[in-house]
Structure 1
Amino acid sequence: MATNLEFKAHCQSFENLYSRLADLNATHRETVHQTDTYFYVTQVKDAPTLATCKPRLKLREIDETGEAWLIYYERPNHSESRYSQYQLSKVSAPSTLKTLLTVALGVETIVQKQREVWMFKNTRIHLDTVADLGQFIELETVFQGQTEFKAADEHQHVKRTLHLGTADPVAVSYSDLVMQKS
C-alpha cells in the first residue's frame, strides 16, 4: 500500500490561507464537488496493517469529471500529523459498484464536500467545505519517490508556512464527524 503523512484542521476562513499558499508557491489544480460513500468494513485478521487503525472503504465520485475511485485506507485517529496507508483503484462503473457494495457491506455514511486542490511538491493541500460540518484544511504528503525523512520535512515546511501550528486539529475522518453529528 502507498503511504501519506496527513494532517487535518478546522478552518474559520480560507481567505488568510490564499496569501500563504502564494508564499508557499503552491499551485491550484482544481475545485471539485466530491461525494464519498463509506461502506462498513472490518479488519481482516493477520492482514498487514497500521496498529489500532479503523479500516475505511469509500467510493469517491467527482461530479465535474464523472470520475470515480474506490479507496481503502487505514489511519490512526489522533490530532497530530499521522501516517495513512491507502490503496485506490479507478472505477469505470461507479453506480454498479455502489449498488454491489451497498448490498454486500452496507453504507456507513455519505460525505459531500467541495474541495479546492492545491499542490506543493509532493503535498496535496485540500481546502474542503464539507456539508453540515464547515471548512477544513487537509494536508497529504505522499512518500512516493522520496524518503520518509524528506516527506516529513516537506510536510512540516508546509504546516509552518501555512501557520497550522496553532490550528484546531481534527483527529478523525469526515465520515466520523458526519456520524457524530447525526
Structure 2
Amino acid sequence: MQYIEVEQKFRLLSPVDDLKATLAARGAKAGESSRQVDTYYNAPHRDFLKGGVISEWLRIRQEEGHASLNFKRWYPLEEPIKTHCDEYESAISDAEAVRRTLAAMDFAELTVVDKSREEWHLDSIALAFDTVADLGNFVEFEFKGEADSVEQATAAITAFIESLDVELGERINAGYPHMTLGLHPAV
C-alpha cells in the first residue's frame, strides 16, 4: 500500500497525559516534538474547492530546517467522509523556490496550518499528538504496517484504538485545512 495513507483523527477531550501513559505502559516509543507550518495551495487548472466535497490538497510543509511538497487525493472522491488517500510527498531543498514557482504558475495560497506535533509509534500505528493554532488538540492514528487493503488497515487502526481503553473526543473526518477554512464535513 505504498503511497496510500489510512488514518483516523480525534479531538482530544481527556488530558493528553492519560493517553501517553497508556502508550508508554504498552511500550510505545515517543519521538521528538516539532513545529510544522503547512501552507496549502489551490491549482489554477483544477479548483480544489469547487463542488460540494473537497478531495485534493497540495501543501508545502516547513519543519525545523526541513521542507516537503505533498499532494493528497482523498477517497471516495464524492463522499464527505473519506476512508484513505493517495499521498505523494517528497523532500524539497528550497521551500521558497517552490513557493515562488507555484505563485508563478498561478497556484493560490488557501490557508496555513501551524501546529506542534509529537509522534509516537507502537506496533504498526503512528500516533501524532497535534496542537493546532486556533483549532485545539488532536490525535491522529495512522497505519504504517503491511496490509492487503484499505479495509484491513482501517480495521487495524480501529482495533488499536479500542484496545487503548482511553476516552477520545469526537472523530474528525476532515483535514486541518478543511477546518481552518470552515469546511468541516459531517462527522
Structure 1 length normalisation: TM-score?
A: 0.81
Equivalent-residue separation in structure 1 for 2:139 and 2:168 (angstroms): 13
CA distance 1:84–1:24, change in 2 (3 Å):
farther
Matches within 5 A, 1:89-168: 89-104=90-105, 105-142=107-144, 145-148=146-149, 151-163=153-165, 167-168=169-170
Q: Deviation at 1:160?
A: 1.2
1:11 paired to 2:34: no
| Other-structure match for 1:78 | 81
Equivalent-residue separation in structure 1 for 2:133 and 2:54 (angstroms): 25
The letter of the residue matching 2:34 is V
User: 1:117-165: CA deviations, max 9, x gaps?
Assistant: 111233210000000110001111135x442365334312321133467
Equivalent-residue separation in structure 2 for 1:93 and 1:29 (angstroms): 25
The letter of the residue matching 2:71 is Y
CA distance 1:137–1:16, change in 2 (3 Å):
same
Equivalent-residue separation in structure 2 for 1:21 and 1:4 (angstroms): 22
| Other-structure match for 2:180 | 178
CA distance 1:176–1:150, change in 2 (3 Å):
closer
Count of residues in correspondence between the two structures: 169
Conserved? CA contact 2:40–2:112, under 8 Å: yes
CA distance 1:61–1:101, change in 2 (3 Å):
same
Conserved? CA contact 2:11–2:168, under 8 Å: no
Conserved? CA contact 1:4–1:140, under 8 Å: yes
CA distance 1:38–1:172, change in 2 (3 Å):
same
Unaligned runs of 5+ in 2: none
Q: Secondary structure at the match of 2:174?
A: coil
Equivalent-residue separation in structure 2 for 1:113 and 1:98 (angstroms): 20
Unaligned runs of 5+ in 1: 45-51
Farther-moved stretch of structure 1 (96-105 vs 27-36): 96-105
Farther-moved stretch of structure 1 (18-27 vs 134-143): 18-27
Conserved? CA contact 1:6–1:84, under 8 Å: no
Conserved? CA contact 2:6–2:142, under 8 Å: yes
Q: Deviation at 1:98?
A: 1.4
| Other-structure match for 2:3 | 2
CA distance 1:136–1:175, change in 2 (3 Å):
same
CA distance 1:22–1:72, change in 2 (3 Å):
same
Equivalent-residue separation in structure 2 for 1:164 and 1:170 (angstroms): 17
Q: Percent identity?
A: 22
Structure 2 length normalisation: TM-score?
A: 0.79
Q: Deviation at 1:84?
A: 1.9
| Other-structure match for 1:88 | 89
Conserved? CA contact 1:24–1:158, under 8 Å: no
Farther-moved stretch of structure 1 (66-75 vs 126-135): 66-75
**RMSD over aligned Cα, in angstroms?**
2.5
